[in-house]
Chain A
Amino acid sequence: MKFGVVRFPGSCDEMDALLACRRYADAELLWHGDQDLKGVDVVVIPGGFSYGDYLRVGAIARFSPVMGAVQEHARAGGLVFGICNGFQVLCEAGLLPGALLPNNGLRFLCRQVEVEVVNADTPFTHGSDAGQVLSVPVKHMSGRYYAPEEMLGEMDAHGQIILRYRAGFNPNGSVADIAGVANEAKNVMGLMPHPEHAVDPLTGSTDGGLLFESLARHADALAAA
């Protein structure tokens, strides 16, 4: 199976994401100006400041040519994984519910946090157990997840809340401590923490690798079926 990592003007984590993917499968970069996803199985929208994050985070990137192809890929059931700015882009594109607002404290945050896997029955998390704690870094200015109460109730009922910050680790004021969510079909997921920065023992935690490994195995199993 193959991962494709989209590079936008202003992306800054696409190389780490690419290297994280390559630990578990083939991976290549995709260009924001192309509509061709090069036959990849999983599209990764990486962190950074796509198109300068002008207007609102992720607001402009969602109109780039590649996002049309990503929308089609997602509609056909293809896997899409958005990290940090990628999460913001997917929310703006309407592929994920909710929105990301500026951090409560208004400061850029860069720190290690603990998140708990809420739903381990998804292509992104099946390599973990429900309740398992992952240590991963966050680094963002606009990571306060928000969804209206009614939407949150529906998301909860459909198992769309995938990751929550553990008590005391919610860094940004996210509603219900939400760190990562999926669409109802569970083929699109976004999260604010950076699993791609937690794949090598050198940087302290390898917990982020679980998500990439889960995706790689899921896509392999689909291909074999």
Chain B
Amino acid sequence: MKARVLIRPKEGILDPQGQAVERALPALGFGGVSEVRVGRLVELEVEDPSRIAELCERLLANTLIEDFEIEVADEVTP
């Protein structure tokens, strides 16, 4: 079963990477973009999706500084 884990910096934690992206946008003509946050996407193939949360807490995310969201695909599209 395919799953995706989205990991992002916790709210309130300064994200200099997001800021750098945000600052680059106006020069390219993309005005009106704010609150850019850069995170990570981890794709997984799992046999037992019930353990993904535990796996995230133990390794994929550091929950002191990051939040994560799990998406499990019900149907695998080719």
A interface, CB within 8 angstroms of B? 55-56, 59, 63, 92, 98-99, 101-106, 144, 146-148, 173
Give the residue name and chain of the B residue nearest to A151 (CB): B64
Q: Tell me which residues across on chain B come within 8 A of A103, comparing CB atoms.
A: 16
Residue with the highest number of chain B CB atoms closer than 10 Å, among A56, A92, A144: A56
> Which of A56, A102, A144, A173 sits near B62, CB closer than 8 Å?
A56
- With contacts A106-B16, A106-B17, A106-B20 known, is A101 near B59, CB below 8 A? no
| Interchain CB contact under 8 A, B13 and A55 | no
| Interchain CB contact under 8 A, B17 and A102 | yes
Query: Could you name 17 residue pairs across A and B whose Cβ atoms are closer than 8 Å?
Result: A55-B60, A56-B62, A59-B59, A59-B62, A99-B62, A99-B64, A99-B65, A101-B14, A101-B65, A104-B16, A105-B16, A106-B20, A144-B14, A146-B13, A146-B65, A173-B14, A173-B16
**Interface footprint category on B:** 10 to 19
**Main secondary structure on chain A at its contact with chain B?**
loop
Q: Tell me which residues across on chain B come within 8 A of A148, comparing CB atoms.
A: 64
Give the residue name and chain of the B residue nearest to A104 (CB): B16
Residue with the highest number of chain A CB atoms closer than 10 Å, among B13, B17, B20, B65: B65
CB distance from A100 to the nearest CB of B (A): 9
| Interchain CB contact under 8 A, B64 and A101 | no
Give the residue name and chain of the B residue nearest to A103 (CB): B16
CB distance from A92 to the nearest CB of B (A): 7
A46-B7 Cα distance, complex, nearest whole Å: 28
Q: Tell me which residues across on chain B come within 8 A of A99, comparing CB atoms.
A: 62, 64-65
- The 6 A-B pairs at the shortest CB distance, nearest first, are namely A99-B65, A99-B64, A106-B16, A104-B16, A99-B62, A56-B62
Give the residue name and chain of the A residue nearest to B20 (CB): A106
A29-B15 Cα distance, complex, nearest whole Å: 37
